[in-house]
Structure 1
Amino acid sequence: MTLVGPTVADYEASADLATLRVRTAQDDTLDLAAETLRLSCKCAHCTRARFDGRFPERFPGIAITEIGDLGYGLNISFSDGHNRGIYPKPYLLSLVGR
């Protein structure tokens, strides 16, 4: 028997742009706060900022401004101008509840 984890079927930003709503192929709806997503960015810029101790501990009031679907993941842009983060779909699901 093969167990298959949930996969992302659809997504949208909430009306206030503070949350990414993800619907799985199993028809569950999961919410990810924009701040959680911004704090969880693994792009080279954010990784370097963490290494140098320049990465903020919080992003209060951050909003999602654009979502690009790359097939395997989402490129999410934020109201602070950051648009480099690519979030693989399994990684997005792992962030639920953080």
Structure 2
Amino acid sequence: MTVTALVAPTVAGYEASADLAALVVRTTHDDQLELGAEQLRLACKCAHCTRARFDGRFPARFPGIAITDIGDLGYGLNISFSDGHNRGIYPKPYLLSLAER
């Protein structure tokens, strides 16, 4: 009897695109996914952004936003943006779920 285990892909590598407008993610299943900087900024779940959404102050768009830095925390990425926002931590499974949308 052969047992085949289905293992969900995980993040194997990442980098900002050459124009800084996207995060390119490579998975353990050899997929390459691209997440736009605006999509990521809109998906930030930090306390500051969560509160801004609750108060109705969160922008509907971030046109022209760029990724300025990426810090790897092991379980997730801390992504900084050209608008100065650098509080967001994106768990790696969350990044993969965003790519599926």
TM interval, shorter chain, is: over 0.9
Gaps of 5+ in 2: none
Q: CA deviation at 1:3?
A: 2.2
Moved over 3 A (4+): none
Give the TM-score normalised by structure 2.
0.94
1:12-27 to 2 correspondences below 5 Å: 12-27=15-30
1:29 match = 32
Find the counterpart in structure 1 of residue 68 from structure 2.
Answer: 65
Larger radius of gyration: 2
RMSD: 0.9
How far the C-alpha of 1:81 sits from its partner, in A, is: 0.1
Distance in 2, matches of 1:6 and 1:25, equals 5
Q: What is the aligned-residue identity percentage?
A: 83
Count of residue pairs the alignment pairs up: 98
Give the alignment's TM-score, normalised by structure 1.
Answer: 0.97
